[in-house]
Structure 1
């Protein structure tokens, strides 16, 4: 993400501090769904890795058993709005209502003092960012795998993700049908690559 965009949204979390041992922060957008989320959970377990799942509220409502699996396996639920809406095409009032509806569903499974929110598509306005900052930590990213882009070969997604990852990186995957082909290729190889280098994978 360009440095100018980061400066325009200082309320947002773009990257975590570098630590020793080096740590990465894996995030998964658009789930949970029974077709893809269990694969993510199984893969994370193989590497003793933790992940933060930015959930679409409607998916949690339809698949609560999958969301419960995320919690039971020690991962974190986070807000990705109820209907996966863009902050650029909705009024602040309607967007905040959609966010609150999603959070109400998540709180039934894993209440949190200051919940995390990732705006779908990364689309958010300055006024929305300021309004949300009172109740949420808005989380962006510094590594986007492009697993959802079917025009990207899986090998290209993996190479791009590895090349752009640094200690403290927040990396975006998607547990969605659209991302399935690339995500299932990239995620285990990405984890293996950085596990071999001594990285840990922690919750936000």
Structure 2
């Protein structure tokens, strides 16, 4: 179960997290979770370069370790990176100290003040500690690209009608998402540019 639009009760539970950026500006923020991996990260980077837009990649530490050349390419091409834990941990299933240590292990590689909890599932006690050092970025438009029962066309339909000024859009930089990302990402960017949205990375 996942929410295409971030529900009010989650925003109420985690009010210090960033769910969207200011609605007053016609800007949107493309974000990618879980990479970098050789199967899809180069495609994503090629598409971003083709359309000359920048994005934010919430990277998993062990994937950075396995694919340092891809991590360097993300940085060299002007994109932002965020911390997504070292082992893609679900905070609900682990004690606070172990979770914070895992984030710190990833931080040695990412050196960023941006964090996104995998699955959006972190305990309030864990986030309370992380807020001291990180901007915790959630989302307000979830593509659902990781859902292998979802058609590429439906993935695109999850995104386009839900975009607003300031939207934070999540795609996934992982193997499960490949056919949906390949279809929906370029079409999303084309829609945004055609409708005069500025596509931004987090600074």
Does the pair score TM above 0.5?
yes
Ranges in structure 2 where 5+ consecutive residues have no aligned partner: 1-5
Q: Give the match for residue 12 of structure 1.
A: 17
Residue by residue over 1:112-161, the C-alpha shift from the partner in whole angstroms, topping out at 9 and shown as x without a partner, is: 4xx10100000011111111100111110000000010101110110111
- CA distance in 1: counterparts of 2:9 and 2:69, whole angstroms: 41
**Residues in 1 aligned to 2:49 and 2:166: alpha-carbon distance in whole angstroms:** 20
Q: 1:32 aligns with which of 13, 18, 36?
A: 36
CA offsets 1:168-200 (integer angstroms, 9 cap, x no match): 000000111110010110000000011101111
Residue in structure 2 matched with residue 103 of structure 1 by the alignment: 107
Aligned residue among 184, 187, 193 for 1:186: 184
Whole-angstrom CA distance in 2 between matches of 1:4 and 1:84: 24
Q: How far apart in 1 are the matches of 2:51 and 2:195?
A: 13
1:134 pairs with one of 129, 132, 145 = 132
TM-score normalized by the length of structure 2: 0.95
Task: Tell me, yes or no, if structure 1 residue 60 matches structure 2 residue 64.
Answer: yes
1:37-186 correspondence to structure 2 within 5 Å: 37-107=41-111, 112=112, 115-186=113-184
Alpha-carbon contact 2:192-2:199 (below 8 Å) kept = no
SS in 2 for 1:151: coil
1:200 paired with 2:182, answer no
RMSD, aligned α-carbons = 0.9
Q: How many residues align?
A: 197
Shift of 1:5: 1.4
Q: Which runs of 4+ in 1 moved over 6 A?
A: none
C-alpha contact 1:30 1:54 (8 A) present in aligned 2: yes
* SS of alignment partner, residue 31 of structure 2: strand
Unpaired segments of 5 or more residues in structure 1? Answer: none
